[in-house]
């Protein structure tokens, strides 16, 4: 099992950028993927992006393609989510999650119940 700690949230104007980080510690060799989800008040948790731990293949929800980039820093076992051209609708609590088993594709990544371990979340606020 791993422990996940998010950082990097904050307040930004629409059109601005933020970089979120998810520090992964513990039994990292058991990790198959790390993903980012977000949840806005009154809304369901939504899949944002994921990266496979070893191959670094990435997946995104359509609404963030071209604006967000997920990446992994091997030296520090940290997964980053670079968010550009932020919109007010991107405001939410962003959480990272780890997966310990291999799954084939994005349809399974989208389901929050698929993921095994979660971080505590970090708030992103986007002012218009």
Question: What is the enclosing helix (H) or strand (E) of 108?
Answer: helix 106-109
Which three-class secondary structure string do you get for 9-74?
CEEEECCCCEEEEEEEEECHHHCCEEEEEEECCCCCCEEEEEEECCCCCEEECHHHCCCEEEEEEC
Pairing state between β 117-118 and 78-83: unpaired
Per the structure block, which two tokens stand in for 29?
Answer: 């060799």
DSSP 4: E
List pLDDT tens digits, range 98-118: 999 999 877 889 999 999 999
Average pLDDT value for the chain: 95
List pLDDT tens digits, range 75-84: 889 999 999 9
């Amino acid at each position: 099992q791993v422990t996940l700690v998010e950082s990097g949230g904050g307040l930004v104007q629409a059109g601005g950028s933020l970089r979120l980080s998810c520090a992964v510690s513990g039994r990292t060799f058991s990790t198959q993927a790390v993903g980012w989800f977000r949840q806005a008040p009154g809304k369901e948790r939504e899949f944002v992006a994921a990266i496979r731990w070893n191959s670094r293949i990435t997946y995104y929800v359509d609404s963030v393609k071209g604006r967000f980039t997920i990446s992994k820093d091997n030296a520090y076992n940290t997964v980053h989510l670079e968010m550009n051209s932020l919109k007010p609708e991107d405001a939410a609590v962003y959480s990272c999650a780890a997966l310990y088993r291999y799954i084939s594709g994005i349809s399974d990544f989208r389901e929050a119940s698929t993921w095994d371990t979660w971080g505590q979340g970090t708030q992103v606020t986007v002012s218009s």
